[in-house]
Amino acid sequence: MEIILTTCCKEKNDSEKLLPAYVRYTHPRIHKVLNISQHQNKELFFLSGKFGLIHKDTPIPWYDQILSDNDVPVVTNLTIIQLNNYLISNVIFYAYPRATQGWENYYQVIESSCKYNGIKLTSLIVK
C-alpha cells in the first residue's frame, strides 16, 4: 500500500475526549496534506513523537511530546514494526525542509524505518 505521511504538530484540539488524529492535529499543514491524500485517494498517516506511525482515523488523546534525540531509536523501532503491520510498500512524506527546527529527528525516523523495511520513500516539501 502506498501512503501519504506527515508529522504530528504542536497545535492540537484540546478536547479531553479521544479524537481521530486528523481532528486532533490542527495546524494548517495537516489540512493541506489531508486534502492531498483525499485528492489522490491514498491513506493518510502521521508520524508522532509519542505514538510512532498512526492512521488519520486513529483516536488519540491530547498530548504534548516532541520527538527528542533520545526518542529517535525507540520511535524508529516502533515505526519499523508499524510499517510492516500496515503492509506499507511506498511512503510519500510531506514535510518542511529538513533544516527547519524540530524536523531532523522525524526525517531520521522515517528514513531509517523505510530503509530497514525496503520501502520506497519520497520526501516532498509542503508549501
Closest alpha carbon to 45 in 33, 31, 55, 30: 55
Which CATH number is correct for 2-125, 3.40.50.300, 3.30.2290.10, 3.40.50.10630, 3.40.605.10?
3.40.50.10630
Q: pLDDT tens digits for 63-120?
A: 999 999 999 999 999 999 999 999 999 999 999 999 999 999 999 999 999 999 999 9
As a whole number of angstroms, the distance between CA 73 and CA 17 comes to 30
Instruction: Write down the domain spans for the chain.
Output: 2-125
Asked whether the whole model's pTM tops 0.85, one would answer yes
